[in-house]
Structures are given as C-alpha cells and as structure tokens.
Amino acid sequence: MAPHIYTSFVSTLLFALFVIQTLKFSHSKAFTNVSCIGAEREALLKFKQDLIDPSRRLWSWTGEDCCEWQGVECSKKTGHVSKLDLRNPCGGLECSLGGKTHLALNKLKHLKYLDLSFNNFSNQKFPKSLASLQKLEYLNLSSVGFYGQISNEVSNLSSLRYLDVSNLWRWPSITIENLQWLSTFSNLKYLDMSYVRLLNPKDWLSPISMLSSLEFLILRGCYLEYALGSLPVNFTSLRFLDLSYNFMNSSIPPWFQNLTKLEYLDLSFNHLQGIFPTAILTNSQSFRYLDVVNNGLEGELLKNMSILCNLQILRLRSNKFSGRISNNEDSALICGRSNLKIIDVSGNNFSGQLPNQFGNFKDLEFLDFSWNSISGSIPTIVGQLSSLRKLCLSSNKLSGNLPESIGQLFNLEEMDIHNNQLEGVVNELHFANLTSLTVLYFYLNKLVLNISASWVPSFQLQKIFMSGCKVGPRFPNWLRTQGNISILDMSNASISDEVPYWLPNILSNIEQLYLSSNMLRGNISRIMGKKIQLLRLVSLSRNNLTGGIPNSLCMSDELHFLDLSKNQLSGRLPQYNKLNGQIPYSLCHLERLGVLSLHENDLNGVLPKCLLKLELVYLDLSNNQFTGRIPSFGQHSQSFEIIDLERNYFTGDIPLQLCHLDNLRYLSLAHNNLFGGIPHCFNNFSLMWANSKFTPNGRFPLGFSIMVDIKGTSREFTTTLRYLFSMDLSSNALDGQIPEGLTWLAQLENLNLSHNKLIGVIPTNIGNLRKLESLDLSNNKLSGGIPPSISNLDSLGRLDLSFNNLSGRVPSGNHLTTLYDQFFYRANDGLCGAPLLKVCPREEHNDKGKQDGHNTVKDESNEGDSIVVWLYSGFGPGFIVAILGFYCILHLKPSWRISYFQAVDRIIVKLSILRMITMFWFKRVFQFQLRKYGVI
C-alpha cells in the first residue's frame, strides 16, 4: 500500500475522532487562570530526570506553572494535568526521547491523554505502572521500544477510547500472551497493534469481537494464522479494518459481509483463498478502500463494475481473479460517475476488452491492467481520464492502433504499454499535451514513430524504452531537447544514420544506454567522447561504429556492463579493469528473468529495490561485497526457490517478507553482519513441510551451480541442486532462541546456525527433521540438554554442537552410535556421558555401588588399618627413610604384607576416581620397588 494513500485514509477517517479528543483534552491556558498543582509538577520533574533528551525538547520544563510547559495541558476547571503529549515530532532517533519512564508518572491520576509514540525506550520493559492511570482515554505507545509482555493489569484502563501499541519501527517490541484484557474496554473505538507478536494467534478474534464500539482495528503483521470464520462477531461499528501482512491461510469468513459500516479493508499479503465475496462491497454504502494484493483469491470481480462505483482505491494485484471485464455494449454496468482514484488489477487472469465507459472515471490517477489477458484495442475514451498520472497496460494481448486521444492526458507521468500487439503510426498528436510525462515504455510492440524533425515536445523524459519500435531511419531529432534522460533504449529501432553531433550533450546524466542492433555510423567518440559520471550500462553492439575505444569509458567509475561487439572498432584496447560496481537497475526490466547468478565478483553497494518485483526463481549473489539491508524478497514476488546471499556485508535483521516465499527450499545468508532473531515465521516455507508435494524442476537452468557448505566441507551442486533443501544462517550475529517452527521443515537436509549468538534450548522436536544430513549449531550460547529426539535423525552424517553451554547426558541410540566422536560435543562443560570422557554424576554413583557390592570383604585385622594409618603418617620430611623401613617390615612379616594389599584394595573402592587413580599408581610403584629389592 502506498504510504500517502494509507495516511490520507487514516487522517480522513480519524478526523472526527481526533476533533472530539482535541475538544476534550486540549485546553489552552488562554481560557484558564488555574495554576499547576504542586504535586503533579514534582511528578513531571521526576519523570523528566530519567529521560534522555538529546534535542532538548523539554527545555521549557522549568518554572512553577507546569501547565505552560511544552506538551503539558491542564484542566481549566481543576488545574490537574489532563494531557501529556510527548510524541516524537520528527520521527527520527535524533529527536526522540530515551531513558526510562519514571514511576512518578503514576501521580498524574487525572491524566486522560498520554502520547509517547516514536520515542526510544528500548531499555525498559512495558511499564505496569501505566495501569494505575485509570482515567486515561487516549494512550499512544506506538514504536516506543518497550519490550516484554503487556500485563493483564492494563485491563484497569476501562475508560480507554484510543489504544495504539503498534511497532512500525520493527525494533524489539512488546509481545502479547492473549487479548482477554481487552474485554473491559467497552468504550474502545481505535485499536492498533501492528507488528506486535501475538503469542497465541489462534485466539485473537474472540476478545476483540466483544468490542461493540470499535471503529478502527489494525492488526497489520501480527502473525495471525486464521480468520476464524465460525465465531460470532459483533463489529457493528467497524469502519476501518487492516489485517495485512499476516499468514491467514483460509477463505474470507462470512462475518466480513456483515460489516455494514466498513469503509476501509486491507487484507493484502496473506494466503487467503477461494471466491471473494462481493457482498462485502455491496453491503456497505460507505465502502471506499479495498486492498487484497498478493493472495490467492478468485472470482469474476470486474464482471459487474457497477459494484465498484463507491470505491476510491481498488487493489487486486497478484491474485487469481478471472473472467471478462464488463461488456462494452452495456453502459448500465458502469456507474455514471466513479470516485475511483486507483485501480490496480495487474497479475491476474482477466480477459475481455477495456470498457468504453472509462471516461466516467474523472478522478482516476492510477490505472494498472498489466499482466492479464486483455485483448482488443485501447479505447479512445481513455483520453478523457484527465486526472490520470500512471497508465500501465503492459503484457496483455492488446492490438490495433494507439489512440491519438491519449495525447490529451496532461497529468500523465508514466505510460507503459510494452509487450502487446499494438501497431500503427505514432505521431506528434499522441504526445501533444503530455506535459508531465517522464517515463515511456513502448518496447515489444510494432509501433512506428513518424515525427517531424522540427517537432519540440512539451515533456522532459527521464526513461525512454522504444526497443523494437521503428524509430528510424534518421536518428530522432526531438531527442536533442531532452536534458534529463537517465535511461535511453532505442536498440533494434531501425536507425540507419550518422551519430548526431549533439548526442553527447543529452547523455550527461545517462545511466543506461542501449543503441544496439541498429546501423549507426561514425566514430564511437561521438557517443562516448567525455566522461559520464553516472554511466553504468552501455550496449552499442551490432552497429557500424568506428574508431578506438574512448579512454573516457575507463574513467566511468560506475560502469560495470559494456558491450561494443560487432562494430568496426580499431586501435589499442585501453587498460580497463573496473567492470564491477553495483547491480544495474536495467536488470529490473528483464521481467521474465528467472535465474540471476553473479556469484564471486567484486560487486558492491546496496541491492536495488526493483529486484523485488522480478519473478526470480534462482538468485545467487554470494561472494561479493554488497552492503545495506537484505531486500524484502517476498514482498511482491513469491516465486523464489533458491536465495544465496552468503559472504557479503549485509547488515540489519532478516526481513519478515521472506516468510511469504512458500516455494523456498534453499536459503543461505551466512557470513554477513546480520543481527536480530531468526523470524518465527520461517515455518511458513511450506515446500519444506513433511507433506509437501515437491516435484523437481525438469528444466533446471543449464550451467547454474551453487557452492554449499555441508557436512563440514564446501561442495558444488549443479543439477543435483534441484533436490537440495538447505538453510544456512551461520557466521552472523543473530540472537534470540531457535524458533520451534523450524522443526516443521521436515524436508531440510542441511541446517547450519553456527557462529551466532543464539540462546535458549535446542527445540525439543528437532527429531522431526528426519531427512537432515548435516546439523551445525556450534559456537552459540545454547543451554539446557540435548533433546533425546535428536537420535531420530537417521540420515545425519555430520553433527556439531560444540562451544555452547549445553548440559546433561549426551543422547545415545539409533543412528547416533555412528557419530561416536567427542569432537561434536566439545566445549560444553555441562555435558557428560559417552562419547565424552566425563562420567555423569548418577552413573558414577551407580558404578561405585556395584564395585562395593562385589569387592566387600571382612576386615580380617585391625593391624592392616594401622599399617594404612602408619603409611599416611610417614609422608613428610622423613619420606625416604620411612619407605625404606616399611619395605623391610613387609619383607620380614608376611602377615603384614597380606593385610597391606587387602587394605589397599578396600581404599581404592571407597575413594573417588582421582584418589583411585592416585593409589593405583602408588600400588604399582610399591610393587615395582618390592620386586626390585627382592621383597616379593
């Protein structure tokens, strides 16, 4: 969802609520002479003492009258502090408050409005003391950084009308065990818990459905799994509902059709299936916003477009909607006046023709029908869409001519009609009034540009894509008026002409230049005669260019793709060794690209965001120097099966959007600088589940291979990669616990989480990963025992649990007997049992008892005991003399000698292992000495 759209709707829908709250809580000192109450002033000053205020936002908190302080308002009747608004004004950390919230805040018993949003209290647990502010009606703790669970004591705030505990900054946040405490908020109208982890997501709906006054419900990214269609719901007042970015894998439940006051519905980025119920649109006369992007919904929703008349935003992208668009001959199907501003139905299976009644959509700003099966011509009525800013009709089956009326769209910024069957002549009338146009996609059509050499366009284009169109034979003269071009693609454009002298003048800001497969003549220096700072990609192949390769190309620091093949170039080749740099944005235009492998180069920089929109299946960017955060793969496209980003310099946390990649079976983020926890939603990789129906791809990309660290060695997988299921997150700074959900991925053959900062216990159900061949959890901070279920891993050939804080007995049995090596368990001081040398305490006790039972003999003589006492007393300065005397006595008295050895045997049994070893050594020494001197 576009941020400005989201903000616009929220501000509009909340306007009335905010006005009421403002009237209720905002009392200017201009209307009162009541001074601040002393006890409350002292409480505020104590509250300030524990705050970190780098931008001095609270500079005004001095003097006697706290009602004059910034962010503080008092009741004009009683003088009590009623409002404390400390919301971060700039949204960034540079002006956020930090530190801790002092308990003195509890003294503000008459506080009705508290806003601490977008500050940084990340070192503090959720303060239970807030529950004492029982008169609170407005509480905004959005993105404040509190961690820990929300206490059930919050239920004391029964007067709340507005509650926001969302976490839009995605740093460590609060968690919620259950939502039962919400049941006391009978007056609650606004509830936002976006990106807050619900520990029991199955029970989310029941307590919320009791809030009959609720008007705004936002549970975006809360890990919800079910829509719970069978529960009775009483949302009679609900106007705004956002359940996007969850994991709801069901159909849309029937209770959605009973939301008769609903104005805004966002269900995007879930796994919803089945037919979309159109009653949701018709049962509410106020319905304005519908977003179901990236689901698996079906139905013929555009068959009767009259049900969309009241909508302002319609977003159906990337679903399975089908059917023909409304019949052009039946004008009754289209409303007389539409309020629609955005229509995005791309990436579905719609067919039919574009309706002629589009002229009624006077407010339409964004129209995207791309990637469908729409046929027929583009209706001339499209020229009446005077508000249109973006027109996307690409990748359909459109045919016929481009209507000249399209040239009347003076607000149009982007026109994308590529990859169709359009033909005919395009002239100046098609561009007559396109004064706002900056992006033009014409390629993969059969269009012919017939434009006068004297024509001066009214626009300034930044991106021009006319590959495959007939632009020539002369080089288009109108280009000389364009000074902001960053991408120019006129390859295979039937240009047979001398390179114009003015061409370098318009290429000063060029980043990508494609003029290949033409018949351009002249010296290449006419094109590349001077250094171009931003130049990244150049393709001038298959022309008739002459001369030597310009040295200016070697000075283009950003250049990393150069194709000058099949020309008539001559001279010496300049020393050129800078074919590295960043990934080109041009890759993002390869919309059918399925495999991208740039393994082991010197590529660097931040990955372009446009990569997210590619329908990639295999991506290997390993062994480079990429920096920045890992892109949110899965946000737009769910086609990925293999992602290898290891051995780079990526930082930040692992994006949750990866969890949308149902088909992912190979993920390596090893050897980067990632931190944060392993997402709990990784159990969403359904292709790795035990019951998944995986069929190896028969058309595996030829030559594609990946180096995989498995079983302690690095192996190259080529065609066998199609059968590999692997996850490697090793050598980062990941913390937190190993999610129990990883044990769902029963198809995994390789799991490597080593060299991180993981804590907690090894999941008890680790034995569910029956196909695991290599498991490496070494060099972490894991504690507790090794789960006995690990012995169920019958395929395991490599195990490494070393360098942790594990304790208890090492499991045995089954396949573990083949992994009988203490190397796998070393540097875990608490572990014991085979194959380690350390005996477990209970086993030691049992063994000692057994030995006592088999070796107990009667004490034949107190004389033997006295010998032992005499022996120990002999240790000291006269050790040598005493030993020699003792040897003589043993030689002269056989009975003493017999008693001595019997006593030694009893002592060995009764002492600890260390003493046993020591006495055994003494015994052997004594025996050796006796033999030596002929005593025995």
Find the mean pLDDT for residues 438-466. Answer: 95
Distances from the Cα of 883 to the Cαs of 582, 871, 887, 921, 932, in angstroms?
A: 82, 9, 6, 16, 14
Q: Where is average pLDDT lowest: 70-79, 192-201, 389-398, 726-735? A: 192-201
Q: Is the pLDDT score of 598 beyond 80? A: no
Distances from the Cα of 889 to the Cαs of 341, 862, 874, 894, in angstroms?
A: 113, 17, 14, 9
Please give the pLDDT value at position 903. 55
Those residues with Cβ within 8 angstroms of residue 157's Cβ, 6 or more apart along the chain or in another chain: 130, 131, 133, 134, 136, 139, 184, 185
Please give the pLDDT value at position 601. 63
**SS3 for 354?**
coil
Please give the pLDDT value at position 853. 44
Q: Which pLDDT tens digit goes with each residue over 134-170?
A: 999 999 999 998 888 887 888 889 899 999 999 887 6
Please give the pLDDT value at position 738. 95
Residues in a beta bridge with 390? 366, 414
> Which amino acid is located at 178 in the chain?
N
Q: Are 555 and 579 in contact (CB under 8 A)?
A: no
3-state secondary structure 551-566: HHHHHCCCCCEEECCC
CA dist., res. 839 & res. 832, Å (int): 6
CA dist., res. 466 & res. 589, Å (int): 13
DSSP 228-249: -TTS----TT--EEE--SS---
* Percentage of the chain lying above the pLDDT 90 cut: 44
Those residues with Cβ within 8 angstroms of residue 290's Cβ, 6 or more apart along the chain or in another chain: 265, 280, 281, 311, 313, 314, 315, 316
Indicate the burial class of 62 (C-beta count within 10 angstroms; 0-12, 13-18, 19 or more): exposed
Please give the pLDDT value at position 436. 97
3-state secondary structure 550-608: CHHHHHCCCCCEEECCCCEECCCCCCCCCCCECCCHHHHHCCCCCEEECCCCCEEEECC
Please give the pLDDT value at position 927. 55
Q: Is the pLDDT score of 350 beyond 90? A: yes
Taking each helix axis from N to C terminus, what angle separates 894-910 and 841-855, rounded to the nearest 10 degrees? 150
Q: Which pLDDT tens digit goes with each residue over 673-704?
A: 999 999 988 888 888 888 776 666 544 444 45
Question: Looking at per-residue confidence, does 276 or 846 come out higher?
Answer: 276
C-beta atoms surrounding 734 within 10 Å: 23
Tokens of 486: 């960053």
Find the mean pLDDT for residues 538-552. Answer: 84
Q: What values do phi and psi take at 535, rounded to 5? A: -65, 130
CA dist., res. 122 & res. 98, Å (int): 8
Question: Looking at per-residue confidence, does 930 or 802 come out higher?
Answer: 802
pLDDT band at 23, cuts 50/70/90? very low
C-beta atoms surrounding 913 within 10 Å: 11
Q: Which pLDDT tens digit goes with each residue over 284-336?
A: 889 999 999 999 999 998 887 778 888 999 999 999 999 988 654 544 446 66
Q: Is the pLDDT score of 399 beyond 90? A: yes
Please give the pLDDT value at position 568. 83
Please give the pLDDT value at position 919. 54
Give how far the C-alpha of residue 791 lies from the chain's centroid of Cα atoms, to the nearest Å: 33
Q: Is the pLDDT score of 511 beyond 60? A: yes
Q: Is the pLDDT score of 389 beyond 70? A: yes
- Name the residue among 158, 162, 299, 292 with its Cα closest to residue 218: 162
pLDDT band at 834, cuts 50/70/90? confident
pLDDT band at 840, cuts 50/70/90? confident
C-beta atoms surrounding 854 within 10 Å: 7
Residue showing tokens 């996850």: 727
Please give the pLDDT value at position 729. 96
Find the mean pLDDT for residues 31-39. Answer: 70
Q: Is the pLDDT score of 255 beyond 70? A: yes
pLDDT band at 914, cuts 50/70/90? low
Q: What is the mean pLDDT of the chain?
A: 81
* Percentage of the chain lying above the pLDDT 70 cut: 78
Residue/partner pairs of 904-909 with CB below 8 Å, 24 or more apart: 905/855, 905/857, 906/855, 906/857, 907/868, 909/848, 909/851, 909/852, 909/855
Please give the pLDDT value at position 550. 79
CA dist., res. 826 & res. 829, Å (int): 8
Please give the pLDDT value at position 726. 93
Q: Which pLDDT tens digit goes with each residue over 456-494?
A: 999 999 999 999 999 989 999 999 999 999 999 999 999
Tokens of 363: 């407010």
pLDDT band at 555, cuts 50/70/90? low
Question: Looking at per-residue confidence, does 609 or 26 come out higher?
Answer: 609
pTM higher than the cut 0.75:
no
The H-or-E segment that residue 310 falls in is none
Please give the pLDDT value at position 334. 60
Find the mean pLDDT for residues 45-68. Answer: 92
pLDDT band at 191, cuts 50/70/90? very high
Please give the pLDDT value at position 723. 79
Tokens of 219: 């549970």
Q: Where is average pLDDT lowest: 155-169, 337-351, 717-731? A: 717-731
Q: Is the pLDDT score of 891 beyond 90? A: no
